[in-house]
Amino acid sequence: MSIIQSHTSASLTDHWRTIDIDALDPESSRNFPITTLAAPPSGPRALDAQSVRGLLRGGDAEGALRGAVGSGVDKDAQLQIVIEVLQSIKAADMTPLLRSVYASEGGSDVLDSLMKYLYAGMAAPTQQRQGESSGAAMSVLLSWHEKVVEVAGLGCVGRVMTDRRTT
């Protein structure tokens, strides 16, 4: 047996790497939780259901839509809020509202998020309210889909379909 073969077989059997370097590094993510690094959501994107309903009652449909589409912790509850907001806005107000959102700062991202919620609403089993058919709820979602595509273009659909992050 040559020296190289004996050295190679000896180093394979030795546990030469038993030191955990990450435990010794004070800046390692193992030494502190990384979940505390993210700031809690604030501002108009982190509105709860009561705030969104208050905006709707106050006549601020755009603020309610932006707040509903904002990132929420519970995605199912957030989806229900978005659908509630969409159902409360009149069909005649859809296009001007979407144009206003699209023209504002970050409007394209808001419409992309809205499109994600529309697809999630279409895919989710409908929870029917009293006197409301599932066809009526789907009709509202399809109307909004049509208007979002009209305002934001087909690129919105492409971005939503190719995005790995889901709503």
60: CATH: 1.25.40.190
Number of folded domains that form the chain: 1
Mean pLDDT over residues 9-19, rounded? 60
pLDDT of 28: 67
Long-range interactions of 58-61: CB distance < 8 A, separation 24+: 61/85, 61/88, 61/89, 61/93, 61/97
Say if 120 falls within a structural domain. yes
Does any domain span residue 20? no
Return the pLDDT at 143: 94
Query: Which residue range is the domain that position 81 belongs to?
Result: 46-162
In a domain, 14, yes or no: no
- How does residue 63 score in pLDDT terms, banded at 50, 70 and 90? confident
67 vs 17 pLDDT, higher one: 67
pTM over 0.75: no
Domain annotation covers residue 38: no
Count Cα neighbours of 24 within 13 Å in the Cβ-side half-sphere.
4
Q: Report if residue 60 sits inside a domain.
A: yes
pLDDT for residue 97: 92
Whose CA is closest to 115, among 155, 56, 55? 155
- 37 is a domain residue: no
The number of residues in the chain equals 167
Q: Which two tokens stand for residue 135?
A: 């066809």
